[in-house]
Structure 1
């Protein structure tokens, strides 16, 4: 199912939760809606679901306008962070419920429920009730219940927020594989950039109800459209330096100088460190202020002519706090907005 959103607005009194949003999501895409708390992520999802009415704008599923179509007729599957399973029903009954509501015969519903439980590796849990399940098992049941009616659009609102870190990673892989197997258009709300980057075909990054950038995770990271995007995506955060400070203290930028550029950004992994004794030419000298080892990666804080820079190296680290080194930059991002 293709989803087209045109000039969508949702206003709550003085708060514009979704502000003139227009995007098109292709059939079969998995799109993460990413952003900080209060940016409008969940509101957008609820408007698409039909739970919340838009203030202005239009929504099309394929070429059909669905603004006034009730939730039960939108052909969508919903998965929430609190699972929303019926506590008095078994897993089998929870899975069968959407088919029962669609007047599917009991035998056919049982057959479909067993098939989806096998796909989600919960076939041994069919006789249990939700209170007898772990968080991960409950989430699998919730996903199965959303998928069993073969919806055209799957909407997921922070579905893994109640799971521990290891299980979150496992569930990401499962959702990604299921989405691919079912070829179902999916919108996945999250505030976790790693989660969005790991599962999505595209990411819709929002701030204050607006689209900040809608593109692949790779483009968001390597070609951010603004300082907001550059600082939101990536860990450690990108180093930001005012143009005048960069030119004065760090390097000659004649080849890339542009009057419209106000800020330069350098990702931590794009700072290449060389030992001082190797005497490379045309490099900038820096002083190592701090070193934090995180196993595979080492985070190094550098002071370069009064400017603090965060760098990261992978593998063995032979540098020491207090050491002077040479640095160069593999890639420099240029922004027209100020820090």
Structure 2
């Protein structure tokens, strides 16, 4: 059994990850919050035995085997490096860091320490995206030529906060949502992006000049081009993920979501058919793989290196939107 410490008394842990850890055989023994009262209340609410206020206390706790980092983005590097140094396995929220150098340092520290490091990219765990990945891998749409991702949503008030008013914490829609698009595209297509071009928008939700919507295109190594639309401002849109190939198309609807829902339709010369899906909680799928990795049976579904790739793509999109130029994507391992 893996014993966990939570670095950050976060909403995502509350809504998704605490339940997934426990459902997959893990135990949560401690939570860290720099606000002592918040930490105590959070621990009491979620049945966690201990709350602490410092990083040292949680990473050096002998009763903690792994940490889940869900603080704001600018804090991830220091926390991951401390966890690795203490020999703790690491599940970190995306984006891994604010810079590629920091993200690479985190991955390297975990390797040097011999601990498991994973990025919490939940979407690659969805039955919909796994079905699409499998269909492409066995050639059901021929050679993939293009893709489209619709991931414009409405950011509810309880999640707005720093995402809209703290650029120094990595706020804005690109580092929050576009990184998920990048990871899901890499997973489904089985290849890496090489360049990006984009336009961002400030539609009235973002403060301090932060973008709250973005549209752009990624080009992949094979020449495939992928269009994406991400937003915090679209109250009535649906999400989707499409891949179009020489022999068919895959149409995913309501698939860019934390919930285990959505459909995938295959269209080809024989007509339309809906792919069979075995929906399961995305975070439980991720935590099952993580616990297996800790036990030496496999690797995480989304590794630290996957997190570096998605960050590299997000930073390239940010630069492309800022300059109006096409920007290369290179994780620089």
TM-score grouping bracket, smaller chain normalisation = under 0.3
Larger radius of gyration: 1
Greater share of helix residues, 1 or 2?
Answer: 2
Greater share of strand residues, 1 or 2?
Answer: 1
Structure 1 length normalisation: TM-score? 0.20
Structure 2 length normalisation: TM-score? 0.21
